[in-house]
Amino acid sequence: MQTVTLIPGDGIGPEITKSVTRILKEAGAQIEWDIQSAGAEVAEIEGTPLPDRVIESIKHNKVALKAPVTTPIGKGFRSVNVALRKSLNLYANLRPCKNIEGIKTRFDNVDLVIVRENTEDLYAGIERQVDDNTAESIKIITRKASTRIVEFAFDYAIKNNRKLVTAVSKANICKLSDGLFLECAREVAKKFPQIEYKEILVDNLCMQLVQKPEQFDVLVLPNLYGDIVSDLCAGLIGGLGIAQGANIGEDAAVFEPVHGSAPDIKGQNKANPTALLLSAIEMLKYIKQNNIAEKIEKALFETIKEKKILTPDLGGIATTTDFTNEIIKKL
Ligand code: NAI
């Protein structure tokens, strides 16, 4: 039995969390949930949307499943996500992107994984106004973070039976910073001769992705390119309702969907739990409950493929509860 921190979030968070925890329980997942509330309502009571107890719980359990959390506007608190990543040093942003049969998109052969560096690059936040007409932002690339993220990508490739890792950069222009990223990538690649290694410039990558996405397997990128390319890839497979993600560090991992708390459909029982469920499936693989993960994956994909019981974002009329019940029926 593994204890996992569960953040049900707010907005549609609690609805999709209920769906996902029901499915995991029925599938036989060996998990005990340590439920930690966070978000806007918590901020009203505890004065912060991310109380220390949430961080402490994740530090202790080392794994968390997180539903979306609304970021209060104008209360001086940065995003809960940014705060979580920082406090827990979650350096790798992992975003698997795979077509789901039954969801129509321009491509039917996307199956790639984005590994984005999460801690430096232009996100280091070192900016200054030089004068009224000039601002500057410093791009930080270090050997330590670059080596760590590329090692993560190769490790992921081996553990998930992937064959190719492609390092993405703009080293023709950012010769020193992206040059260092590539130098680290080449060093790491030598340690993994069983995995093919390639390099590509980020502009060419974007063009190739919207023409022949099937040629890519694992992509490893510095923070900014990773952010942009992640969204491009989410678009390739059909959008927010199915886009999963994870933030992983040396001591902890937080699995969460890409989407937000969707206040426009809150409480209407029509949110699609797929993105959170796919995030939970990745979490199950991370905690080595692979059989359960595969069982749920199969039931989910069968349900979507049949196209009979789908939530409105996927073109259906089913409720979150109907969709959940159908997956459970198929387990
Ligand atoms: P959003 O992702 O919540 O919603 C955008 C659109 O997608 C809405 O029309 C919504 O109904 C739809 N949608 C999102 N998830 C869906 C699902 N599972 N099923 C069906 N439809 C879905 O983005 P928005 O409205 O910009 O953000 C709302 C709040 O969420 C904000 O406070 C934002 O800060 C927060 N947020 C939190 C994130 C997190 O906790 N990881 C990530 C992104 C935003």
For 84, the token pair is 């979580």
Question: Whose Cα sits closest to atom 16 in ligand 1?
Answer: 241
Closest residue by Cα to atom 22, ligand 1, is 241
Distance CA 236, CA 209 (A): 9
pLDDT at 75: 55
The predicted pLDDT at position 256 comes to 94
Q: Which atom of ligand 1 is nearest to the CA of 272?
A: 19
Hunting for tokens 């080392």 — which residue is that? 62
The whole-number pLDDT of residue 164 equals 98
What pLDDT, on a 0 to 100 scale, did the predictor assign at position 55? 95
Q: Measuring from atom 43 of ligand 1, which residue has the nearest CA?
A: 260
Predicted local confidence at residue 78, as pLDDT: 61
Give the distance (Å) from ligand 1 centre to CA of residue 304.
21
* 3-state helix/strand/coil string of the chain: CEEEEEECCCCCHHHHHHHHHHHHHHHCCCEEEEECCCCHHHHHHHCCCCCHHHHHHHHHHCEEEECCCCCCCCCCCCCHHHHHHHHHCCCEEEEEEECCCCCCCCCCCCEEEEEEECCCEHHHCCEEEEECCEEEECCECCHHHHHHHHHHHHHHHHHCCCCEEEEEECCCCCCCHHHHHHHHHHHHHHCCCCCEEEEEEHHHHHHHHCCCHHHCCEEEECHHHHHHHHHHHHHHHCCHHHCEEEEECCCCEEEEECCCCCHHHCCCCCCCCHHHHHHHHHHHHHCCCHHHHHHHHHHHHHHHHHCCCCCHHHCCCCCHHHHHHHHHHHC
pLDDT the model gives residue 172:
95
What is the pLDDT at residue 330?
97
Residue 275 Cα: closest atom of ligand 1: 18
Say if residue 191 is exposed, middle or buried (CB neighbours under 10 Å; 0-12, 13-18, 19+): exposed
Angle at 20 between CA 86 and CA 67, to 5 degrees: 25
Q: Considering only CA atoms, which residue is closest to atom 27 of ligand 1?
A: 260
Print pLDDT tens along the chain (331 aa). 999 999 999 999 999 999 999 999 999 999 999 999 998 788 889 988 899 999 999 999 999 999 999 876 655 566 787 778 878 999 999 999 999 999 989 998 999 999 999 988 987 778 899 999 999 999 999 999 999 999 999 999 999 999 999 999 999 999 999 999 999 999 999 999 999 999 999 999 999 999 999 999 999 999 999 989 988 998 899 888 899 999 999 999 999 998 889 999 999 999 999 999 999 999 999 999 999 999 999 999 999 999 999 999 888 999 999 999 999 999 9
**Count, residues in the chain:** 331
**Which residue among 54, 240, 264, 265 is best mutated to probe the pocket of ligand 1, counting the most ligand atoms within 8 A of its Cβ?**
240
Q: Which residues contact ligand 1 via a Cβ below 6 A?
A: 12, 68-71, 81, 240-241, 256, 259-265, 271-272, 275, 313
Residue 240 Cα distances to 46, 209, 234, 260, 271, angstroms: 30, 18, 7, 9, 11
Q: Which are the contacts of 144, defined by CB distance < 8 A and separation ≥ 6?
A: none
Output the CA 200–ligand 1 centroid distance in Å: 32
All structural domains of the chain, each given as residue ranges with its CATH number in brackets, are 1-93+242-331 (3.40.718.10), 106-237 (3.40.718.10)
Question: Which residue's entry shows tokens 């491509």?
Answer: 107
Q: How far apart are CA 193 and CA 286, in angstroms?
A: 24
